[in-house]
A = this chain, B = another copy of it.
């Protein structure tokens, strides 16, 4: 199986769940009566901000790293990330006691870079933008050897991300809608495969910032758009779909809902205030999308994956 072209199945996701079970948290699902009243539907928040490294990314990274055979693993792992995927690979490699090399753009958030470092990864800084990231990744791969684990265009990663939905549907069996933020599409792909396999009628939506709407536009156009400049405060949502995630989402997703940065921040404040949870702007975007498109969800049981909670607290302000 080539992990860059294989479309994961429910069995792949179940195997991933078994593989990561000794290492990952089963995260809680929280609810809020006041947010339900505001949204006009029943919201079920899957708290992946409480996952290890503070984001769902640990699921996919852990599954990919622990899928490697002994000989490949010994040569270590290379990846590129401005944030949570890098921290997740760093921790997964530390738990398997193998080296992690992470290509990190200069504009990555401090809190996320600190987390990579804390877990002992080798960092390779590069200029922002996909071109520099890809070139530096090629160079590091050439220099250190090791296996590339792509942040989202990888069947092992997608299967790992899908495990959050296995748990969520066991915790909240009445869901008829699932919404996750979409960036490279790994979480949304895994969510769609797990959700539709277990609950065939369920509707799966992505939520994307207006300033990084490549998934929205790609699905409308029927072809993958790439090379755009992304402009959003949601630092976890600036990647673009890969060939594998595009193919999966095209076949499965009911739609991509847009929301503005201002709406993401307002939703983030609501989550702090009503759920007492620290989430990053990217994680709040799914709630922002529900609040903007309320009519679509009226009275339904909506599962939202709160993707992560890593942000530079020194810069946080809700002052009006």
Contact = CB atoms under 8 A, between A and B. Distances in A.
Interface of A: 28, 30, 34, 49-50, 54, 111, 118, 269, 272-273, 275-279, 309, 313-320
A318 to B, nearest CB: 4
Given A269-B313, A313-B269, A276 B54 contact: yes
Nearest to A271: B278
A314 B318 contact: yes
Contact of A30 (B50, B54, B272, B318): B50
Contacts of A315: 319
Given A54-B276, A279-B276, A314 B320 contact: yes
B278 A272 contact: yes
Contacts of A277: 276-278
Nearest 6 interchain pairs by C-beta: A276-B309, A276-B278, A313-B318, A49-B276, A272-B278, A314-B318
Contacts of A320: 314
Contacts of A273: 111, 278, 313
Given A111-B273, A315-B319, 9 more contacts: A28-B28, A49-B276, A272-B313, A273-B313, A278-B278, A313-B318, A314-B320, A316-B317, A317-B319
